[in-house]
Amino acid sequence: MEERANGIEVHGLVREYKKGPRAVDGIDITVAPGEIYGFLGPNGAGKSTTVHVLTTLLPPTAGTARVGGYDVVKEGPKVRSMIGVALQEAALDPLLTGRDHLRLQATLQGVRKHRRKVQADELLIRVGLADAADRKVSGYSGGMKRRLDLALALVHMPRILFLDEPTTGLDPQSRTALWEEVARLRREEGVTVFLTTQYLEEADVLADRVGIIDQGKIVAEGTPAELKAEIGRPSVHAIPRDEQDREKIAAFLAPFGERLDTTRDVAVRLRDGLGLTDIVRAVDANGVDIADLELRAPSLDDVFLAKTGRTLEGAAEETEAR
Ligand SMILES: Nc1ncnc2c1ncn2[C@@H]1O[C@H](COP(=O)(O)OP(=O)(O)OP(=O)(O)O)[C@@H](O)[C@H]1O
Ligand SMILES: [Mg+2]
């Protein structure tokens, strides 16, 4: 088979469900070979639908998509030979063990018989399931199932990996382990990764570029640094020494920028041209009683809020609660 660049090219992609919404409403995405692309969006934004179309599980209503140089509609089998997929809802058989799943998948993917055992062992170690390999999946935690699902997606050594919310519901340790494995795949094997997430931190740590989708449309795209720079101004957070002083501090900070309080502190997004020193000087001059004062660079949360009018962390927690 000829060598194809393992990128992704999407033009004017639309997917309308028969009795549902226009889940994907004309999106353009380019992912370079070997890039990690973070696809961010709240519940129902169209992330999974996009993944389903790009992995040939759903046909598009309009537009085109090429994955690894192949058209997802006309060259489905070729696309499938290049990709590994871990869907949001992992389809595992509770009665099989982790090792059974890997052997089965290796057989289905045409991995040579003598390679199967070694490969299963390697993958189980890589995703941290070596000790649980011979236990039935019915006894796995949510995080263990996600890790097994990642191992299954890697069986045929795909050049492009699709991960749909791979870390939702994982504990911080498993999340970090999965980030490391994804980063390693890109670094050492040049794998292209298309990853959806509701965690801004995940996109920030892992993704070379980020696309934010909201109601089927891409509302922002760029490197995490570019997106943050677009928002520009940092925020200043003051922690009152006495809760009763909150309003007093807020009134004092009001001239410095628009209000941006959190439960913990009183905060403003700084006006252009102002810095922390301006506030410190004013605090000194006015004798305001502040326990701590902190300058924060804009985060992806700020970007998300600015682009969609919503915060995302709350949305992610809702999903976990379900
Ligand atoms: N099979 C379906 N039939 C009809 N509508 C659907 C179907 N699947 C998804 N939708 C709708 O399409 C929209 C996009 O859903 P999608 O699953 O792509 O969102 P998502 O970004 O993956 O959300 P989440 O973060 O909750 O996984 C939603 O309004 C959803 O209700
Ligand atoms: Mg989804």
pLDDT at 36 over 90: yes
Ligand number with the minimum distance to the CA of 315:
1
CA distance 29 to 11: 7
Cα separation, 240 vs 120, in Å, equals: 56
Instruction: Give the number of whichever ligand sits closest to the CA of residue 217.
Output: 1
pLDDT at position 313 is: 59
Domain count across the chain: 2
- Which run of H or E residues covers position 265? none
In sequence order, which residues have a C-beta less than 8 Å from that of residue 133 and are 6 or more positions away? 97, 98, 99, 120, 124
Is 21 within 8 Å of 216 (Cβ atoms)?
A: yes
Does the beta carbon of 23 sit less than 6 angstroms from any atom of ligand 1?
A: yes
Are 211 and 29 spatial neighbours (Cβ–Cβ below 8 Å)?
A: yes
List the residue whose alpha carbon is closest to atom 2 of ligand 1.
17
57 lines ligand 1 (CB under 6 A): no
The Å distance, Cα 128 to ligand 1 centre, comes to 31
Measured from the alpha carbon of residue 44, the closest ligand is 1
SS3 132: coil
Claim to verify: residue 121 and residue 171 sit in the same structural domain: yes
In this structure, is residue 303 part of a structural domain?
Answer: no
**208 & 250 share domain:** no
Predicted TM-score (pTM) of this structure: 0.83
Q: Please tell me the distance between residue 247's alpha carbon and the centre of ligand 2 in angstroms.
A: 41
User: Looking at residue 288, what is its pLDDT?
Assistant: 81
Q: Is the CB of 21 within 6 Å of ligand 1?
A: yes
Looking at residue 296, its pLDDT comes to 84
Residue 213 lies in a domain: yes
Which ligand 1 atom lies nearest to the CA of residue 319?
26
What is the structure's pLDDT at 265?
A: 85
Same domain, 174 and 199: yes
Q: Is the CB of 17 under 6 A from ligand 1?
A: yes
Report the CATH number that the domain containing residue 286 is assigned in CATH: 3.30.70.980
Summarize pLDDT for 3-24 with one digit per residue, the tens: 568 999 999 999 999 888 899 9
**Domain with 88 in it: what CATH number?**
3.40.50.300
Whether residue 197 is found in the same domain as residue 264: no
Bridge partners of residue 14, in order along the sequence: 25, 62
Whether 255 is in a domain gets the answer: yes
Out of 229, 260, 278, pick the residue that ends a domain: 229
Q: Which residues have C-beta within 8 Å of that of residue 266, sequence separation ≥ 6?
A: 237, 238, 239, 240, 246, 249, 250, 253
Diameter of the chain by CA atoms? 77
Q: Are residues 131 and 217 in the same domain?
A: yes
What spacing in Å lies between the alpha carbon of 315 and ligand 1's midpoint? 15
Ligand 1 atom with minimal separation from the 52 CA: 18
pLDDT of residue 316: 47
Nearest ligand atom owner, CA of 213: 1
For residue 264, pLDDT beyond 80: no
Residues ≥6 apart with Cβ < 8 Å to 304: 40, 200, 212, 310, 311, 312
141 and 242, same structural domain?
no
DSSP 136: B
Task: Using alpha carbons, list the distances in angstroms from residue 33 to 2, 192, 231.
Answer: 16, 6, 28
Beta bridge partners of 214: 217
| Domain assignment of residue 74, yes or no | yes
- pLDDT tens for 271-295 read 888 888 888 888 888 878 888 888 8
Query: Could you tell me how far CA 105 lies from the centroid of its own chain?
Result: 26
One domain, residues 204 and 178: yes
Residue 6 beta carbon below 6 angstroms from any ligand 1 atom: no
CA of 22 to the centre of ligand 1 (A): 10
- CB of 41 shorter than 6 A to ligand 1: yes
The whole-number pLDDT of residue 312 equals 66
Nearest alpha-carbon partner for 149 in 140, 319, 59: 140
DSSP codes, 57-94: SS--SEEEEEETTEETTTTHHHHHHHEEEE-SS----T
Per-residue pLDDT of 19-30, as tens digits, reads 888 999 999 999
Compute the distance from residue 274 Cα to the ligand 1 centre, in Å.
43
Which residue's C-alpha comes closest to atom 17 of ligand 1? 48
**Residue 174: CB within 6 Å of ligand 1?**
no
| pLDDT tens track for 188-246 | 999 999 999 988 889 999 999 999 999 999 999 999 988 888 876 888 889 888 888 88
pLDDT tens figures, 49-71:
999 999 999 999 999 999 999 99
Q: Same domain, yes or no, for 132 and 266?
A: no
* Residue from 282, 228, 237 nearest 255 by CA: 282
Domain that holds residue 79: 8-229
- In this structure, are 186 and 293 located in the same domain? no
Is 306 a domain residue?
A: no
